[in-house]
Chains A and B, each alone.
Chain A
């Protein structure tokens, strides 16, 4: 993938990652560690990987006012950068970014968190129609949502133990 730059034609090539705090961000950062190229990461938390950070407010899908606020601030950022790809590991802000990015013509990749063992996340299900690629890290969940299963980001989650997670 190509590096993006603001205020130039090359900006159109930018790849943006979006992740809420905690496990969502850990999973996105793991992808970066494995070689995923991102020009920016939108997250409420400080990053541990060497990618330019854009701080966003976290929100919850059950809080309409906060969702609206996030929508406005995320839409501003995406309008400015015009990314080619948006990839997110959730949660709500990632879903918002994914929908906005789709309207801006970007490729959109949803990776459902490995925590959603038996059922896809609510945001994941809501944004399913806006994702050009929808990934679950659990095969049955991927199948149920007509998404793809390409394994798990971490290799210590064993399918045989899924009942206990």
Chain B
């Protein structure tokens, strides 16, 4: 996922400041800051400052990103890539798909990253998290 994200972010060609947490012995991208493991306070600080959060489909990452109102892209770990024991992250991903962008392939990840980058000034929350029927019904009272 780190390699895929690196490729997609390089393609933006812009000024995006990126911090990677790659895991012990994980691939270190050639651009941006990268750490094997970030301490929990540092992680929180980075998360609060970020404009886009990309993570696997772990519950901790999803909840912390969404509850801070950040746009979140998740890419479930798959057993077939040796990323996890089983495919439970697919179930997590489908349960939270209303709140986050779920990327299942490198191409989808790239598309979500470039969409988030071009919308970076437009919204405080990801569009997929908004319930448009609320606004429609509210307008009856305006």
Partners in one complex: yes
A: residues with CB less than 8 A from B are 1, 15, 23, 25-26, 29-31, 33-36, 48-49, 85, 87, 107, 109, 111, 132-133, 135, 137, 148, 150-156
**Chain B nearest CB: distance from A13 CB in Å?**
12
Specify which chain B residues have a CB less than 8 angstroms from the CB of A35 in the assembled complex. 135
On chain B, the number of residues with a Cβ less than 8 Å from chain A's Cβ atoms is 22
Q: Are B142 and A34 in contact (CB under 8 A)?
A: no
Specify which chain B residues have a CB less than 8 angstroms from the CB of A154 in the assembled complex. 99, 125, 129-131
A-B contact pairs, 10 of them (CB 8 A): A1-B142, A31-B134, A48-B124, A109-B141, A135-B141, A148-B141, A151-B137, A152-B131, A155-B99, A156-B66
Please tell me which one of the listed residues A48, A85, A109, A152 contacts residue B134 in the complex, with CB atoms under 8 A apart.
A152
What is the count of residue pairs linking A and B with beta-carbon distances less than 8 angstroms?
Answer: 76
Over the window 92-123 of chain B, the binary record of Cβ atoms lying under 8 Å from chain A Cβ atoms (1 yes, 0 no) is: 00001011000000000000000000000111
Alpha-carbon distance A128/B125, docked complex (angstroms): 28
Q: Are B99 and A133 in contact (CB under 8 A)?
A: no
Answer whether residue B2 sits at the interface, using C-beta atoms and an 8 A cutoff. Answer: no
Q: Are A153 and B134 in contact (CB under 8 A)?
A: yes
Specify which chain B residues have a CB less than 8 angstroms from the CB of A132 in the assembled complex. 141
**Chain A nearest CB: distance from B22 CB in Å?**
28
